[in-house]
Amino acid sequence: MLSRIGFRLVFLIIFFALQASIVRAVPPTISIQGSLAGSDGKALTGVRVWRVQFYDAQTGGHALGSAFNGVFASQPSGRFSIDLTPPAEVLAASGEVWYELAVDSAPTADAVIDPGDVFPNRVAVHSVLFAQRAAQALSADTAAASQQADRATTATNALAVGGVPAANLVTDTELTSRLATRAELAHTHNLNVLAGAVTDAQVPNSITINHAGSADTAYQLQGEAFLMVRTTDNPATNATNLSKTYADAKTRTPYGAALSSSNRIVVIVPPGQYDFGTRALTLDTKYVDVEGLLPDHDKQHLYGTANGANTGVLMQTANSVRIENLYVECTRSDGVANYDNTDPAAYFPNTDLPYTVVRNCRFAGNDPTVWSTRIGVVEYSGTYEDCEGGTYSFGGHGGTASGTFTNCTTGSSGFGSGSGGLASGRFTNCSAGYDSFGGAGGRANGTFRDCRAGTYSFGGNVGGIASGTFTNCSGAGGSFGGAGGTASGTFTNCTGMVNSFGGNGGTASGTFINCTGEESAFGGKGTASGTFINCVGRYSSFGGAVESFGDGSNVASGTFINCTGKNYSFGYDGTASGTFNNCTAEDYAFGYSGTAPGGKFYYCSGGLYSFTTNAGTGTAPVHRYCLKNGAVYP
């Protein structure tokens, strides 16, 4: 709210749209334009509700007519515009008139006007009333047309800055850089519009809000850059209205220009149920966005059964589309899944649409009959924030997650999982179930920060590769290239469980800093050939193996600094040929029952049977300042 985030109105404009060169009736509207920003200077964007109340005094006084309420979609810069017709009480006022503006100013729009959302100072509107009153006086007598033109010119010149006629004022772009005060900017800008220096359509980021005629119209509000869907108590009708509104939006030219990446239009979806049945809402046009009105995505519920193979409830074929604040569900309960990219899904996009932006959406399906998002060989290369999916979401079951994912959640096998799956994007604070993030034999070669997943994730399982960059991530058993996979990336402050980090027959060849695993981690029952700093494992870690599983193939050939293992660690029943500095283990560690050719041990400590070989058959390693079972060794 205003008091909470330091809301400020960058500029405020009121103008009366009168063409001085043409004799015509004065339009009875005024426009309030401005820009929303927080205390950090960043624009407050999104769909926001507003309220305007007119008063007969700058403070206190009496309200003139009822309050106006509406909604606008602010631009990326935070700019907005509110057009309204003053009530009769305003035009009849004998003295000055002021208005009070309130705007939903929460960091994330919540469609609520709180006391703290009221702009602290009322704004005078006397110049607008002067022009409108002049028009009212003149409109009664058609014979006074010439006088009306004269008085309109008088009204225009009365607003001129420093007495400079409107026709002589500079362009809007020049004004922005040359004029310092709000008053100059407001008045001079308006006169440029009046004199024809720029047209209404050329005023950047202005939004005119109009109620859309009859109840038969598919949308209920419209502006230069948005259409709001008309809703009823009938979910099927709502879905039809949404489809029609989207079709209408595709034909629009916001601000008089063609649709483009910087001149978009948004279809606003109010709270309600939207039943598409076997139909689909297909997003097939660039720069036409679909956005739920409230940040609670479940309030805008789009659902249907889809229509078999290659269909969904929300389909997308166009690139550069933004989807926000929606709950999309495929309710199909019959049929057999093919487990490929033809299976129906709630969200069914074409592959590789890199300019897609999906925010705060929840996708759900009745798997394994249908899926929450399209599965199989599909690439999710866009931007996804605060999104939720089910099993196989966002590139699961052999797909690719190459986009940017922030605060996203999936069920099992999400984010580029499965044989052929690839998690090559940027993942921040994301979570998933088992076999995710390139898991179940896939590849995780992206950037992962503060992510969490279940068993066999992050390139885990046979054939899996974890070659990316992992920071503050956690996985369950067999994760991070574990359970027969390869962990060749960079791992910092990561946590795995049993058989993680290339464990259980895998290879840990990357760089591991401040990481923690459990039994058979860090190449346990396999090969630990990387660099390990301040890492902690349990039994059979760091290239070791439990005795019953030892076959002589376990190798600890990397560099180990300040690492800790338990029994059977660091090359037990195998080869400890690496460099070990200040490492600690329990019994049967550091090459016991195997060989340690070329191994170097400095300030290391082991328990019984460490640093040696069973029955003296191994090769003695190099020891410096080491302890064996509490005593100096050798």
Looking at residue 132, which CATH number applies to its domain? 2.60.40.3980
Domain final residue pick, 343, 362, 381 = 362
Choice between 363 and 84, residue whose per-residue pLDDT is larger: 363
Whether 619 is covered by a domain: the verdict is no
Both 249 and 331 in one domain: the answer is: yes
Domain final residue pick, 327, 344, 362 = 362
Report the alpha-carbon distance of residue 282 to residue 442 in Å, rounded.
31
- Residue type present at position 376: G
Whether 28 is covered by a domain: the verdict is yes
Whether 69 is covered by a domain: the verdict is yes
- The burial class, CB within 10 Å (0-12 / 13-18 / 19+), for 39 is exposed
pLDDT tens digit sequence for 476-511: 999 998 888 899 999 999 999 998 988 888 898 999
Strand order in the sheet with 574-575: 379-380, 400-401, 422-423, 443-444, 465-466, 486-487, 507-508, 527-528, 554-556, 574-575
Range of the structural domain that residue 292 is part of? 211-362
Both 269 and 343 in one domain: the answer is: yes
Q: What is the mean pLDDT of residues 369-381?
A: 96
Report the alpha-carbon distance of residue 506 to residue 517 in Å, rounded.
14
Domain final residue pick, 328, 362, 396 = 362
Tell me the average pLDDT of the chain: 78
pLDDT tens digit sequence for 38-73: 767 788 888 888 899 999 998 999 999 888 888 888
Tell me how many domains the chain contains. Answer: 2
Both 73 and 197 in one domain: the answer is: yes
Both 240 and 311 in one domain: the answer is: yes
- Pairing between strand 511-513 and 490-492? parallel
Both 321 and 201 in one domain: the answer is: no
Strand order in the sheet with 631-633: 605-606, 626-628, 631-633
pLDDT tens digit sequence for 272-301: 999 999 999 999 999 999 999 999 999 999
Whether 529 is covered by a domain: the verdict is no
Both 81 and 112 in one domain: the answer is: yes
Whether 560 is covered by a domain: the verdict is no
Whether 154 is covered by a domain: the verdict is yes
Whether 610 is covered by a domain: the verdict is no
User: Residues with Cβ < 8 Å from 421, sequence gap 6 or more?
Assistant: 395, 396, 397, 398, 399, 400, 438, 439, 440, 441, 442, 443
Whether 528 is covered by a domain: the verdict is no
Both 122 and 266 in one domain: the answer is: no
Both 182 and 309 in one domain: the answer is: no
Both 183 and 126 in one domain: the answer is: yes
What is the radius of gyration, based on Cα positions, of the chain? 34
Residue by residue, what is the 3-state secondary structure of 226-279?
EEEECCCCCHHHHHHHHHHHHHHHCCCCHHHCCCECCECEEEEECCEEEECCCC
Both 116 and 194 in one domain: the answer is: yes
pLDDT for position 341: 96
pLDDT tens digit sequence for 82-108: 888 888 888 777 778 888 999 888 887
How wide is the angle at C-alpha 353 spanned by C-alphas 348 and 356, nearest 5°? 85
Both 25 and 166 in one domain: the answer is: yes
Choice between 423 and 200, residue whose per-residue pLDDT is larger: 423
Contact (Cβ atoms closer than 8 angstroms) between residue 195 and residue 166: yes
pLDDT at 188 over 50: no
Can you give the pTM of this predicted structure? Answer: 0.70
